[in-house]
A = this chain, B = another copy of it.
C-alpha cells in the first residue's frame, strides 16, 4: 500500500475529533501563522480598524475568537482594552501566551485553550474581534463559532470586528479552463493505456472502472474550484454582490446556504467567459449605536498591488463561452455545506447568456466543490 498525497474530498461525517484532526491542526503550525501574519492587506485592515477606533477598545472588555498567535488580542490590549479573552482551540495557544508575555500585555490578556463552543468567560464583553474568514468567505464555517460567541458573550450594545461581510462573484477569463480539460484528457489517456496493459500483462479487465475513474477525475480537474490571485484584467465584467452579512445579527441559518439570482454584464469585446470568480470583503464600521470613528475595509478582490492569501476561488466552465461587450449572463447561484465535511462547500451555477441582439442560449448548470 502507500499512496501519494493528492488532496481528497471524501471525509467521515462531522465528528469533533475528526474535525480537529482535519481542520484545526494546521493552525497549530507557526509556518501557517506566519503566512497569515505576512498578509499585508489582512494585517493593515485589522491594525487600522483597532488603532483608528480607540473609543471601541479603551477600558473595554474584548473577546478574540481563534486568536492564533495572539496578534489581534495584543493590539486590543495596546489600544487600551481593560481585559481581553483570547480563545484558541489548538496548541498555538501556548505560543500566544509566550508572545503576549514578551510584549508585556499578559496582565490584560487571558489566553483560554478550548473551542469557543465549550468556553465559559467570567463576564460579558464589549467587543468581539475575530479573523474568521475562509476562502470565498464561508469555507471553514468558522463564522459559526463567532455567532455562538456573540450570542453567549456579547453585551447588548457590543460591537463586532468586523461588523459586515459581503460575497462577490465576477465573470473571468483564464487559460486554466482549457488547461484543465487537457489535464483530464491526459489522465484518461493514461487510464486507457493502463487498462490495456493490465489486461495484457495480468489478465484482468479494468474497463468497468473507466466510468468511475472518469467521474473521479472530472470532479478533481473540472469541478473543484481553484485558488488564484487573478489579475484585474482577467475580470471581464462588473462583479455582483451575492450576499451581505451583518455580523451583529446574522444567524447560522442565514449563512448555512447562500442562494442568489443576479446578472453579470460583460464589458470586454470578443473575449471568452472562462468562468466565475468568488471573493469577499469585510468592513469594520462598529454598530448603529456605536459607530466606528474610522471605517476600514478588507478587500480580497483581484488586485495587482494588494493580493491576499485568500485570493479568489475560480469556478471554471468547460469549454469557455465566447462573449462580447454588452452581453448579459444571468445566474442562479447556490452554495451549501458539503454533507461529508461541514467546513467544505457544494456550489451550483445555472447560467444563461443573453446577447444584446436578443439571442438567448439555453441555460447550463455546473456543479463545483470548494475543497
Contact = CB atoms under 8 A, between A and B. Distances in A.
A122 interface: no
Contact of A1 (B10, B25, B66, B207): B66
Contacts of A135: 2
A224 interface: no
Nearest to A11: B21
B17 A12 contact: yes
Contact of A38 (B30, B139, B194, B203): B194
A216 B30 contact: yes
Contact of A36 (B1, B132, B209): B1
A180 interface: no
Contacts of A26: 3-6, 8
A279 B209 CA distance: 32
Interface stretch (A91-99, A270-278, A281-289): A91-99
B34 A99 contact: no
A226 interface: no
Contacts of A69: 206, 209
Task: Give this chain's copy count.
Answer: 2
What 6 pairs across the A-B complex have the smallest Cβ distances? A102-B208, A3-B32, A18-B21, A30-B213, A3-B26, A12-B21
Interface in A10-68: 10-12, 15, 17-18, 20-22, 25-32, 34-38, 43, 47, 66, 68
A338 interface: no
19 contacts: A1-B36, A1-B133, A6-B26, A8-B26, A8-B28, A12-B20, A15-B18, A18-B21, A21-B22, A43-B201, A43-B202, A47-B201, A69-B209, A71-B204, A74-B204, A75-B203, A75-B204, A101-B208, A102-B208
Contact of A220 (B2, B15, B31, B98): B31
A216 B8 CA distance: 25
A1 B18 contact: no
A352 to B, nearest CB: 32
Interface string A71-84: 10011001000000
Given A22-B21, A29-B216, A74-B204, A7 B5 contact: yes
A2 B95 contact: no
A139 B133 CA distance: 36
Interface string A221-259: 000000000000000000000000000000000000000
A368 interface: no
A36 B194 CA distance: 11
A196 interface: no
A323 to B, nearest CB: 31
A179 interface: no
A349 interface: no
B310 A2 contact: yes
A357 interface: no
A269 to B, nearest CB: 36
A194 B37 contact: yes
Contact of A71 (B21, B78, B140, B202): B202
A342 to B, nearest CB: 13
A362 interface: no
A243 to B, nearest CB: 18
Contacts of A71: 202, 204
Contacts of A37: 194, 198, 206
Specify which of A18, A28, A47, A135 lies most central, judged by the most chain B CB atoms within 10 Å of its CB: A18
Contacts of A131: 1
A6 B27 contact: no
